[in-house]
Amino acid sequence: MKTQRVGVILIGINGYGFRFLQETFRLETLGEVRLQAVIDPAAAQNPEWAYLQSTGVPAFDDLKDCLDSGIEADLVVIVSPIAFHASQTCAALAAGMDVLCEKPICATMAEARRMMAARDASGRYLEIGYQWSFSSPVQALKTDILAGRLGSLRSLRTCVAWPRGEVYFQRNNWAGRVRDPEGRPVFDSPVNNATAHFLHNMLFVAGISPTLSATPKIIEAECYRGNLIENFDTACCRLETVEGPEVLFFTTHCTKEKIGPQFSFSCDEAQIEYTAGGSIIARLSNGDQKDYGNPEGDPMEKFRYCLDRCRDPHKFPAVCGPEAAIAHTSCVQGFQATPVIALPASQLQYSNDKPETKLTFLPGLDAEILEGYRKGLLFSEMKLPWSSPATRVSLPVGPTETIGAREASGLS
């Protein structure tokens, strides 16, 4: 049977968006996709710009111009800065197109609710691009947990240390900032950007249905910075969830050594472990072992799933919609309500291994993250000399709870 070509509009074709562009080109040669337009004010900087021009695919600086031109598509893929996720998603849905919006869903709870309302009013679908949630290994693991094959889920821990130098923080006008130059909230940090996948993954796996995440109700968070940025580059937290499992997360960009991601999930009848590059392994109390595979194996699986969902929405149901993604946004709100403590300048060191890169790092932080991860202790609970007591914040429970003054402040 001939595969239906799905018309696609790509918003953002540089950076991570280039991966979607490459996959779109590949799928076009297979007759599965038709690229209707690209939207990116810096489209001419893309390595494939000359080829794009030769194909006659229209390019626009913004979504409004594209929609005003009368171009239609089945699916809009949004890989734009965080501040634009809500407005572009709502506009695409209102125009009658399905949407795959890259993570995070947006910056604030209020924006997330607006996106939900736009989805509901449009009758179209909205998926959020946390690729692990779409991966076969994570789907299989969550299915086993929901079926009770591993016993009740009790706790989840993840740590990830990804060094990021000055080039990373200077790559645009909102990196490491609370708001962009126009005042729009972005809350950019490792928690809300580079390592957001791994906090979300714990919440997603702990959800009580295939399309829901666990609901965080209390966060104890610590936020620090070593780089000369507005927001934080290092953090840890302990989450209490409505569903019961405890969640711990450790992340930083202020390290010289790369760690993970790696996680450890404890169930009544199994211990589940993952280390970057390997497989998710469940070791059951009866001595059995199950290999779920590597969740990083196919990052574009989410894109192809969404294409299939355009073709047959009944056969391909929701995977990671706003109801699943909003739990992460609630946690981000808690982090943003936590004071940011400067790491001791006298202890920071700098690496210039590459001429164009200056890396700021705190010696020993990688080992301290691993220690906290293994012992289940926050930085302050390990009595680290530079640490400060965690801030305890009550989070909005559920996607529709009104959170009053916080909403007006822009945190919500």
CATH code of the domain containing 344 = 3.30.360.10
Candidates 300, 298, 296; CA nearest to 24 is 300
393 falls within a domain? yes
Regarding whether 333 and 237 lie in a shared domain, the answer is: yes
Asked if the model's pLDDT at residue 157 lies above 80, the reply is: yes
* pLDDT at residue 401, as a whole number: 40
Q: CA geometry: angle at 326 spanning 322 and 330, to 5°?
A: 170
314 falls within a domain? no
Rounded distance between C-alpha atoms, residue 168 and residue 174, angstroms = 11
Regarding whether 361 and 280 lie in a shared domain, the answer is: yes
Convert the pLDDT of each residue in 43-85 to its tens digit: 999 999 999 999 999 999 999 999 999 999 999 999 999 999 9
12 falls within a domain? yes
Of the residues 83, 115, 131, the one at which a domain ends: 131
313 falls within a domain? no
Candidates 250, 217, 225; CA nearest to 393 is 217
Q: Give the pLDDT mean for 279-299.
A: 96
Of the residues 100, 131, 162, the one at which a domain ends: 131
Convert the pLDDT of each residue in 1-38 to its tens digit: 456 899 999 999 999 999 999 999 999 999 999 999 99
Q: Which element (helix H / strand E) includes 80?
A: none
Confidence of residue 352 (pLDDT cuts 50, 70, 90): confident
Convert the pLDDT of each residue in 113-132 to its tens digit: 999 999 999 999 999 999 99
Regarding whether 47 and 108 lie in a shared domain, the answer is: yes
pTM of the model: 0.94
- Assess contact for 35 and 58: CB atoms under 8 A: no
Regarding whether 15 and 150 lie in a shared domain, the answer is: no
* pLDDT at residue 1, as a whole number: 43
30 falls within a domain? yes
Convert the pLDDT of each residue in 368-410 to its tens digit: 999 999 999 999 999 999 999 999 999 976 544 433 333 323 3
Regarding whether 84 and 101 lie in a shared domain, the answer is: yes
CATH code of the domain containing 120 = 3.40.50.720
Asked if the model's pLDDT at residue 276 lies above 60, the reply is: yes
338 falls within a domain? yes
- Assess contact for 185 and 86: CB atoms under 8 A: no
Regarding whether 345 and 240 lie in a shared domain, the answer is: yes
Candidates 170, 223, 172, 158; CA nearest to 359 is 170
300 falls within a domain? no
How many domains are contained in the chain?
2
Residue percentage of the chain with pLDDT more than 90: 93
304 falls within a domain? no
Regarding whether 167 and 101 lie in a shared domain, the answer is: no
Q: Which domain holds residue 39?
A: 6-131
Of the residues 102, 131, 160, the one at which a domain ends: 131
Q: Give the pLDDT mean for 86-102.
A: 98
* pLDDT at residue 357, as a whole number: 75
* pLDDT at residue 404, as a whole number: 30
Q: Which long-range contacts (CB under 8 A, 24 or more apart) does 176-181 make?
A: 176/227, 176/229, 176/230, 176/231, 176/233, 177/229, 177/230, 177/231, 178/230, 178/231, 178/336, 179/410, 180/81, 180/83
- Assess contact for 256 and 362: CB atoms under 8 A: no
Regarding whether 189 and 167 lie in a shared domain, the answer is: yes
* pLDDT at residue 396, as a whole number: 79
* pLDDT at residue 299, as a whole number: 93
Bigger pLDDT: 358 or 331?
331
Distance of CA 288 to the CA centre of its chain: 32
Angle between helices 322-336 and 196-205 (to 10 degrees): 120
Regarding whether 165 and 124 lie in a shared domain, the answer is: no
Regarding whether 172 and 35 lie in a shared domain, the answer is: no
Asked if the model's pLDDT at residue 355 lies above 80, the reply is: no
Regarding whether 117 and 32 lie in a shared domain, the answer is: yes
Regarding whether 168 and 27 lie in a shared domain, the answer is: no
Which three-class secondary structure state does DSSP give residue 145? helix
Asked if the model's pLDDT at residue 294 lies above 90, the reply is: yes
Rounded distance between C-alpha atoms, residue 229 and residue 50, angstroms = 36
